[in-house]
Amino acid sequence: MSTSEASVQSTSPFTRGSNRRQVLTRVAGAAAATLLGMPVFAQSKTIRIGASFDNSGVEKANGSGLFAGSSACINAINKAGGINGSKIELVLADDQFKPDVAKSNALAFANDASVLAMIHPLGTRQTAEIMDAVPGMAVVGPNTGTVALRKKNAPNTFWVRANYDQEVDKLIATAAVLGINRIGIVHSNDPLGQSVLAASKASLAKYKLEPAVIATTPSTISPEVEPAAAAIAKAAPQVVITGLAGTAPAFIKALRKAGGNSTVYGLSIMASSLTPMGNEARGVGFALIVPSPYSTRFDLVRRYQADMEASGSKDFSLPSLEGYMDASVLVEGLRRAGPAPTRAALIAALSSIETFDMGGIKINFGRGNREGNQFVDVAVIGSNGRLVS
């Protein structure tokens, strides 16, 4: 990603650099504009979008990937003249994958009258904090598939990825088609993990199967994976469904060290963490909630690749494609919100999106629906870390 684009801010005014006086000055100026009857976003001709995610911790690979993709999309839009005469600016706030920091970042964005919406928060607990903290702001494309969050029916939250139930069901269906009937589960002992466990049991029941073994790790970010790996290795299921994210590589290595030869299937959120493993990840399968970033049969992917290269990056990845899609949906909402958008107008505009074709993937939010995308596929890591889907 190019650092020369003025539209993309690589540091946050809420977590580093700026002081309180600077923030208050900007908020006061925005308030004055409002008193004069002039919408902040129309007056400044810059639409500011907040992005809180992990840019320094265990989920940095996912976070930086999401931001690279959304930045590439926004850069392309700005180069083409912006939206309704306004340029778009992304403002990054690193939450270090800590829910309390994510909440603080979101509240800071909400209190800044120049920030219109938020994009792709990362993590289940982080997203839960953010969507509750900013009920009057649109939150587009959270990077979590936890079903419980979607059941809250938050009117400000627009999901661009399929949920974990759909991912797990696709993985288990794939195994069942191959005649596999001994399937184990490893999950973290937290809301994400409980969601994966429930989805796995429900999907297995459809095929009249019971889990061959269930193992847990302490949390999504805990490196303590050896006991779970030992339990899976001892039970020796044919396939293990891995409900882990950034700690998945450590689990896979521990499983092999313990003598486990089970085929590993995982959630989409673990995909980016597998790249550094090289050939150690060969044969690992996982759910895709976006097309392969190399599948140029999709017009979406061709456009994504071109915009990534124009932003100075050829590092095509699943997270960056997801971030690109999130930004594309947000941009469509901004188009519909008109030349003087408000937070409420953007939420209403996003709510009106139906059968929006991004280039092979369609988004539908109409009639109260907030889960806009049902796309799920399965990929396998081949030689040299390349995806085979």
Q: Quick check: 72 and 320 in contact, CB under 8 A?
A: yes
- Token look-up 């469904």 returns 241
- Contacts (Cβ under 8 Å, ≥6 apart) of 80: none
Domain boundary among 257, 288, 319: 288
304 shares a domain with 267: no
At residue 364, the pLDDT reads 95
Q: Say if CB 107 and CB 317 are below 8 A apart.
A: no
**Same structural domain, 224 and 343:** no
| pLDDT at res. 385 | 64
Q: Are 21 and 142 contained in the same domain? A: yes
Per-residue pLDDT of the chain (389 residues; tens, 9 = 90+): 433 333 444 444 333 334 433 333 333 344 334 333 444 444 458 999 999 999 998 889 889 999 999 999 999 999 999 999 999 999 999 999 999 999 999 999 999 999 999 999 999 999 999 999 999 999 999 999 989 999 999 999 999 999 999 999 999 999 999 999 999 999 999 988 998 999 999 999 999 999 999 999 999 889 999 999 999 999 999 999 999 888 999 999 999 999 999 999 999 988 878 877 888 888 999 999 999 999 999 999 999 999 999 999 999 999 999 999 999 999 999 999 999 999 999 999 999 999 999 999 999 998 889 999 999 999 998 876 677 76
Tell whether 133 and 26 lie within a shared domain. Answer: yes
What's the domain range around 61?
Answer: 8-161+296-363
Looking at the structure, do residues 64 and 193 belong to the same domain, yes or no? Answer: no
Asked, for residue 373, whether it belongs to a domain, the answer is no
| Confidence (pLDDT) at 205 | 96
In a domain, 368, yes or no: no
* Contact partners, residue 24, CB within 8 Å, separation at least 6: none
Give me the pLDDT at residue 271, please: 83
- Structural domain includes residue 177: yes
Co-location of 282 and 313 in the same domain: no
Is the backbone of residue 242 left (phi > 0), alpha (psi -120 to 50) or beta?
beta
Provide the token pair at 263.
């085929």
Residue 79 lies in a domain: yes
| Residues 101 and 145 placed together within one structural domain of the fold | yes
| Secondary structure class of 218 (helix, strand, coil) | coil
> How far is the C-alpha of 95 from the C-alpha of 97, rounded, in Å?
5
What pLDDT, on a 0 to 100 scale, did the predictor assign at position 389?
A: 66
Please indicate, yes or no, whether residues 208 and 60 belong to a single structural domain of this protein: no
Flag whether 168 is in a domain.
Answer: yes
* 377 within some domain: no
246/123 same-domain check? no
Asked if 235 and 209 sit in the same domain, the reply is yes
- 175 part of a folded domain: yes
- Please provide the DSSP assignment of 145-188 as one string: --HHHHTT--TTEEB-S--HHHHHHHHHHHHHHTT---EEEEEE
**Closest alpha carbon to 112 in 54, 226, 31:** 31
Quick one: pLDDT at residue 388?
Answer: 75
Distance CA 16, CA 274 (A): 30
Q: Is residue 3 part of a domain?
A: no
**Helix orientation angle between 343-351 and 318-337, rounded to the nearest 10 degrees:** 110
| Domain count for the chain | 2
Among 268, 288, 308, the domain boundary falls at 288
Q: What is the pLDDT of residue 10?
A: 41
Q: Kind and range of the H or E element at 337?
A: helix 318-337
CATH assignment of the domain containing 314: 3.40.50.2300
pLDDT at 41: 43
Model's pTM, two decimal places?
0.82
Last residue of a domain, one of 288, 315, 350: 288
188 and 304 inside one domain: no
Question: How far apart are the C-alpha atoms of 284 and 227, rounded to whole Å?
Answer: 20
Q: Based on the fold, state whether residues 150 and 16 are members of the same structural domain.
A: yes
Report how far apart, in Å, the C-alpha atoms of 352 and of each of 126, 332, 355 are.
26, 10, 10
